[in-house]
Structure 1
Amino acid sequence: MKHLAAYLLLSLAGNASPSAEDIKSVLSSVGIDADQERLEKLIAELQGKDIQELIAEGSTKLASVPSAGAGAAAAPAAGGAAAAEAPAEEKEEEKEESDDDMGFGLFD
C-alpha cells in the first residue's frame, strides 16, 4: 500500500510514469524502506496504464459491491423472533461481565 501511495503522489505531482527509484526516494524521505519485490511488481502492473482510468474503473467496481447497510437492514426481518431475543440476552451478559471487576475500577 505504501508503494502505491508513493506512486500516486508522484503521479499527482506530474510524473506520468514514476520509476522504482522515484518511489524509493519518496518512501525514504519519510523513513520507510522500500520492498524491492513489491516495488517491481507494482511498476510491472502499472506500466503503460493511465492511473486516472484505473481509478475510475476501480470506482465503478467498488460501487457494485454491496455495503453492510443493506444486509444489516434485512437481517432482523429474516430473523424474526430470534433476532428480537438476541438483544435481551446480550444485556444479561453485559451485566455479568461488569460484575467481574469486583468493584475495582481501572482508575480507583
Structure 2
Amino acid sequence: MKIDDKPILPATVATRSEAAAALADGDIHRSAAQGQGEDTVQLSGNAERVARMSEALQKIPDIRVERVQELKRQVAAGEYAVSARDVAEKMLMTMKKGVAV
C-alpha cells in the first residue's frame, strides 16, 4: 500500500474533469473533512477488570524479600544445601526447551 499526500476524491466525483474542477475549487478537502467525526473508545467490563488487575500486579514486588533473607541466613550458617541431581535435572530441562544456559 502506498501512502501519499494526495487528497481523497469524494464519491460524487465521476470523471477526470469533475475531479480537476473539485481540486481547483478546494471541494475535496471540505468534503473529506465533513465526513470525519470524533473518534471514541469504549472499554468493555473485561478490559476494565484487566486494567485493575494489571495495576494491582504492578504493586507486588518482584523480589520476595523474606525468602531472600532466609536463603542468605542459611548460606551464612552453612545450612544451605543443593542437590546435585536437582541442579542437573533443571539444566537438562532448560536445554530441552532450547534455552541457553
Verify same fold: TM over 0.5.
no
Structure with more contact order per residue of length (Cα contacts < 8 Å, sep ≥ 6): 1
TM range (shorter): under 0.3
Query: 1 or 2, which has the higher helix percentage?
Result: 1
Task: Normalising by structure 2, report the TM-score.
Answer: 0.27
Task: Normalising by structure 1, report the TM-score.
Answer: 0.26
